[in-house]
Amino acid sequence: MSRQIVLDTETTGLSPENGDRIIEIGCVELLNRKLTGRNLHLYVNPERDSDEGALKVHGISNEFLRDKPKFAAIANELLDYLGGAELIIHNAPFDIGFLNKELERLNRGRMSDHVAGVIDSLAMAKEMFPGKRNSLDALCGRLEVDNSGRTLHGALLDAELLADVYINMTRGQDALGIDLGGQSDNDVHRVSVPVVDLSTFTLQACRATDAERLAHDALLADLDKASKGKTVWRRHEPLAPAATA
């Protein structure tokens, strides 16, 4: 059974090395790519105030955090919940850097000692949508995930949105497993699929219009520019015919 945890944090600032701390952790559980509802949401007393810029992002006041538990008090609960799972994080180096620093203070190793691995959904998005904006809000809009309730960053809300985004980004990976009536993965190979004789169909060829060809060429040029000339089709374009005497 594949267990994944979509994780997000909010922090007092941008640099754990300069003393910034975690103030909120939101986790959403996926089992075999399906939401279980077994989520984890924690507020943490960072033992320092948030930077002005961070306050504008998450809106969590210093006063609100004063009576919340310190990271040392929630570490066991968090690690027990995450234990052995694969993490999905948007811009993973940021959150992992903060988590590693918190664990270092407690002599509890690093996150890699406790989880099966980490998927960076931002890196995935950059590969899927080169040259495009790939913030969580941008991906929600592109993949039709409703983020209308997101006025400020919140760890649990952002993790819930990212879970939907990730499932949509990787939808093709489980296409054969969709709508199988609750059958287990072991039953997939026994699903009866009707055979269709394509020879009984007359397939009509629809040729692109001049406008469609121009739009297609422009899109390929944009992708080629965004990847700095590394697109496969440019390496396999037919050579122009040699001039004849």
At 71, the pLDDT band (50, 70, 90 cuts) reads very high
Lowest mean pLDDT among 58-67, 70-79, 231-240: 231-240
What are the b/e assignments for 100-113, b being 16+ CB within 10 Å? bbbbeeeebeebee
- Catalytically active residues, by annotation: 153
Q: H-type helices in the chain, by residue range?
A: 52-58, 62-65, 71-82, 92-105, 121-128, 136-142, 155-169, 210-226, 232-235
* Residue 184 DSSP code: -
Compare 218 and 110 and report the one with higher pLDDT: 110
Lowest mean pLDDT among 13-27, 72-86, 149-163: 149-163
At 207, the pLDDT band (50, 70, 90 cuts) reads confident
Given a cut of 50, is residue 193 above it in pLDDT?
no
Compare 218 and 62 and report the one with higher pLDDT: 62
At 178, the pLDDT band (50, 70, 90 cuts) reads very low
Lowest mean pLDDT among 16-30, 153-167, 209-223: 209-223
In 3D space, the residue among 166, 3, 199 whose CA is nearest the CA of residue 84 turns out to be 3
| Domains of the chain and CATH, by start | 3-175 (3.30.420.10)
Task: Give the pLDDT score at 223.
Answer: 78
Mean pLDDT of 193-199: 55
Q: Can you tell me which residue has the tokens 């400020």?
A: 152
Task: Give the pLDDT score at 177.
Answer: 37
Task: Give the pLDDT score at 149.
Answer: 72
Greatest pairwise CA separation for the chain in angstroms:
87
Beta bridge partners of 24: 10, 43
Per residue in 73-123, pLDDT (tens digit) is 999 999 999 999 999 999 999 999 999 999 999 999 999 999 999 999 999
Q: State the Cα–Cα distance between residues 124 and 142, nearest whole angstrom.
A: 14
The helix, strand and coil proportions of the chain, stated in percent and rounded to the nearest 5, come to 45, 15, 40
Given a cut of 60, is residue 127 above it in pLDDT?
yes
Task: Give the pLDDT score at 217.
Answer: 83
Given a cut of 80, is residue 188 above it in pLDDT?
no
Average pLDDT, the chain: 85
Beta bridge partners of 41: 26
Q: How many residues does the chain have?
A: 245
Residue 133 structure tokens:
């904006």
Task: Give the pLDDT score at 242.
Answer: 56
Q: Can you tell me which residue has the tokens 């989880």?
A: 115
Q: State the Cα–Cα distance between residues 161 and 227, nearest whole angstrom.
A: 28
Compare 77 and 208 and report the one with higher pLDDT: 77
Q: Cα-flanking dihedrals φ and ψ of residue 218, to 5°?
A: -65, -40
Task: Give the pLDDT score at 197.
Answer: 60
Kindly give the pairing relationship between strand 86-89 and strand 34-35. Answer: unpaired
pTM of the model: 0.69
Cβ within 8 Å of residue 61, ≥6 positions away: 55
